[in-house]
Amino acid sequence: MSAVVMDGNALRDEIVAGLAATISAAGSPEICLATVLVGDDGPSRRYVNSKHKKAAEAGMVSRHAELPATATQAEVEAVVAELAADPNVHGILVQLPLPDGLDPEPVLDLVPAEKDVDGLTERSMGRLVRNRPGLVSCTPLGVMRLLQKYDVPTSGRRAVVIGRSTLVGLPLSLLLNRKGADATVTMAHSRTSDMASVVREADIVVGAAGQARMITADMVKPGAAVIDVGVSRTEAGIVGDVDFGPVAEVAGWITPMPGGTGPMTIACLLENTLTAARLQGAFPTH
């Protein structure tokens, strides 16, 4: 029996349409997402462009600040500080990675927690750890939205998250463990002993290590939900951490790569932008 394929593109479009309806019903107040791009990295530029396109579909306005790869640390920080101080900007996203020689941490520190729509700053992570209202990293939030959409049970289930980054692995582990989701979570990583046996015990498997096709069919419990977040660029194109075809014959649910968690990252960025506007009192809470 083949797994249910969890369509991130379809759910993204559903979320964007819902945001557009919510904004329109409130009288279309101007909600602004600002992005900062330093340098001319092709994938980063395409990703930023897709964010602006979907923001427009959601009824939001966009502002884009672009600096050359030769920009100094002070110049990048000045742009972010200006956006942070602007009351007409509700969400700020600094596209990472920054060019070599620039330190992202002081840049991110300038983003107020209530405008941190990427959920990357220390304050945002601290709010997540303490279960306080705030903005959550977009990819982990997108994974949770997919699990909810496809009625994947989490309460009392065992989840294994492979990868411990602050961008995906750590915040997703916290979200899965949070009251309401109530999964029992193991965070696996490159030093995990006998990875296959650890993964085989899981009802929910999340691959976020960036190692092409590392999760094979023999590692997956029959009927498990398998979520692919890892991205590897190969001669054959983009592949994920999951060996999709064989694993789909064993799993109960599975995300494709591409077309699964990637579109959900953009959807949740826009969801976070509306939440940010509410946190700032710029949009009605109901």
Q: What is the pLDDT of residue 193?
A: 96
| Torsion sign, CA atoms 159, 5, 42, 115 | negative
Q: Can you tell me whether residue 134 is helix, strand or coil?
A: coil
Query: What pLDDT sits at residue 236?
Result: 79
State residue 1's pLDDT score: 56
Is 54 a residue of the active site? no
- Out of 95, 221, 228, 241, the active site residue is 95
What dihedral do alpha carbons 94, 95, 100, 103 form, nearest 10°? 30
Dihedral pair phi/psi, residue 91, rounded to 5°: -140, 140
35-94, pLDDT tens digit by residue? 999 999 888 999 999 999 999 999 999 999 999 999 999 999 999 999 999 999 999 999
The yes-or-no answer on residue 115 being catalytic is: no
Q: Which regions of the chain does DSSP assign to beta strands (E)?
A: 4-5, 32-38, 61-67, 91-94, 158-162, 184-188, 204-207, 225-228, 232-234, 237-239, 253-254
Q: Is 118 a catalytic residue?
A: yes
Domains of the chain: 28-113 (3.40.50.10860), 138-263 (3.40.50.720)
Q: What is the pLDDT of residue 282?
A: 92
Residue 28 has pLDDT above 90, yes or no: no
Residue-wise pLDDT for 146-193, tens only, equals 999 999 999 999 999 999 999 999 999 999 999 999 999 999 999 999
* Three-class secondary structure of residue 9 per DSSP: helix
Catalytic annotation, pick one of 7, 54, 115, 118: 118
* Tokens linked to 157: 């289930």
Selected catalytic residue, list 7, 51, 116, 241: 51
pTM (two decimals): 0.95
pLDDT averaged over every residue in the chain: 96
